[in-house]
Structure 1
Amino acid sequence: MNEDNGTKAARKRRPRKSLSPEQVVDGAITLIQREGIDALSMPKLAEELDCGVMTVYGYVANKDDLLAKVTSRLVDALPLDISGEPSWDDALRRYCIALRQRMLEFPTLAQLLIKRRLWSPSMADVIEWLLDRMASAGWRPDEALRAYRAAQTYTLGFAVYEAERTQTHPYREHETWWRQTLADLPPEQYPRLNEVAEFLPRGALEEQYHWGLERLIGGIAEQR
């Protein structure tokens, strides 16, 4: 018998009922972070948790249910304090910054937050807080919701773009690609692109995110 297979076969599984729902979700997050969302399966999660596949099914109905729980865990831990009464624009700004921060903490899970519903019990509290701050400032309910969605969509899209260029791959690779690509563009044929050559590699940086967010919120305020 192959030594590795023998070791694997001899490894003792954890005792029955020694898992918790939190540990199952933690295991899924660890697996996704290490190998990607597409690698997640019930057998692989069972291996990650040192348990049988049917044990996993005792905590989640299927993979879709598991991904919903993973998404809920991620949004539950947003680094956002909703106890105060800031202005509507500051509340919206704080939410977006917290959402981006959370996505960058888990770059391989950013796509998951794009594809699935951003919802959990604590997320309901966040949205209620945001809409209340906007209502207190005189916003109509439908317009407040539109503003929230516009800022959130910008943040989700930027975070996925940013994570791919600064987290999944080294930012230096992104910067080098731009510089090599622009070096092949004749200045006489592409004068405007050459004018901004030093700025193009910076599109995925934090300063660009805040620049866009401030102008988005400012534009929303002007349209009230």
Structure 2
Amino acid sequence: MSPTPEERRAARHQLAAGPSTPAGRRGPSRGHKKPITVDAIIETAFGIVEREGYEALTMRRVATVLETGSSSLYAHVVNKEDLDELLIGRLCAEITLPEPDPARWRQQLTGVCAQLRDQYLRYPGISRAAFAAAPSNLDTLRVSEGMLAILLAGGVPPPAAAWAIDSLTLYVNAYSLEVSLAAKRQSRPEDGWVVSREELLTRFAALPDTFPQTKRYAAELTAGTIHDRFDFTLGLMLDGLPIS
């Protein structure tokens, strides 16, 4: 008897993922197309997110692109949440983890967070899939394991290191989602409220005198690139950690 989707998912959390067993197609293709595999589902899902954004990703949409029925997908993927976990795990698998260096632990951790950010930004809005998800996928756990090792090597006490991972990944997820949302809005002509730095400076200069600090420090409020602000925020978070 073939393993159930739940058994397949449990196996993925215990062993390194290998080639998935093809499932017979059901639906309009009537077996004339390439068999469905976990890899085919993941690649198709990434393509949908890249072209249409994460909001467009549903099990039905994946099945449509693969020219099959949804039941063929459920032979490999338990549900949408399972697919989300697979996608985030695949992105995490691309991250290079350094050998922890006590003298460079801040730079190393910033580098890992920047890699994760860049992976998320490849697929608009996909970091939404990482919110409220426990890191049970082995590829995702590999990243948190690497981050923990770096923090401990830097002398951060285990309780603070554990919570720092949660805080850092939450910020990376939120940052990536905000950047994706802003880019999507800027691409739509009807969203004229998305303004440039120059327009913001003009608007701040025209504010009434009840906003004296905003008018005075308009340049500072609008300075820097989004990645400059990303690095600044990570620095604040890391500098605030206790060192034993």
Q: TM-score range by the shorter chain?
A: 0.7 to 0.9
Asked whether the equivalents of residues 76 and 120 of structure 1 are also in contact (C-alpha less than 8 Å), the reply is no
Asked whether the equivalents of residues 86 and 133 of structure 1 are also in contact (C-alpha less than 8 Å), the reply is yes
Q: For 2:231, give the aligned amino acid.
A: H
1:157 aligns with 2:157: no
Separation in structure 2 between the aligned mates of residue 36 and residue 119 of structure 1, nearest angstrom = 25
- Going from structure 1 to structure 2, the CA distance change for 1:67 and 1:146 (only over 3 Å counts) comes to closer
Equivalent in the alignment of 1:76? 93
Task: Give the fraction of aligned pairs with identical amino acids, expressed as a percent.
Answer: 21
Which of these residues, 13, 18, 41, is aligned with residue 24 of structure 1?
Answer: 41
For residue 100 of structure 1, report the CA deviation from its aligned partner.
1.4
1:168 aligns with 2:184: yes
1:85 aligns with 2:95: no
Separation in structure 2 between the aligned mates of residue 157 and residue 63 of structure 1, nearest angstrom = 21
- Going from structure 1 to structure 2, the CA distance change for 1:127 and 1:61 (only over 3 Å counts) comes to closer
For residue 23 of structure 1, report the CA deviation from its aligned partner.
1.0
For residue 206 of structure 1, report the CA deviation from its aligned partner.
0.9
Equivalent in the alignment of 1:206? 227
For residue 207 of structure 1, report the CA deviation from its aligned partner.
0.8
**CA offsets, 1:25-50, max 9 Å, x none?**
11122223333444333332111112
Q: For 2:101, give the aligned amino acid.
A: P
For residue 181 of structure 1, report the CA deviation from its aligned partner.
4.1
When normalised by structure 2's length, the TM-score is 0.71
Which of these residues, 85, 95, 99, is aligned with residue 112 of structure 2?
Answer: 95
Which of these residues, 192, 200, 205, is aligned with residue 178 of structure 1?
Answer: 200
**RMSD in angstroms over aligned alpha carbons?**
3.0
- Going from structure 1 to structure 2, the CA distance change for 1:215 and 1:37 (only over 3 Å counts) comes to closer
Asked whether the equivalents of residues 160 and 241 of structure 2 are also in contact (C-alpha less than 8 Å), the reply is no
- Going from structure 1 to structure 2, the CA distance change for 1:70 and 1:130 (only over 3 Å counts) comes to closer
The structure with the largest helix share of the pair is 1
What stretches of structure 1 of length at least 5 have no aligned partner? 1-10
When normalised by structure 1's length, the TM-score is 0.76
- Going from structure 1 to structure 2, the CA distance change for 1:39 and 1:97 (only over 3 Å counts) comes to closer
- Going from structure 1 to structure 2, the CA distance change for 1:118 and 1:34 (only over 3 Å counts) comes to farther
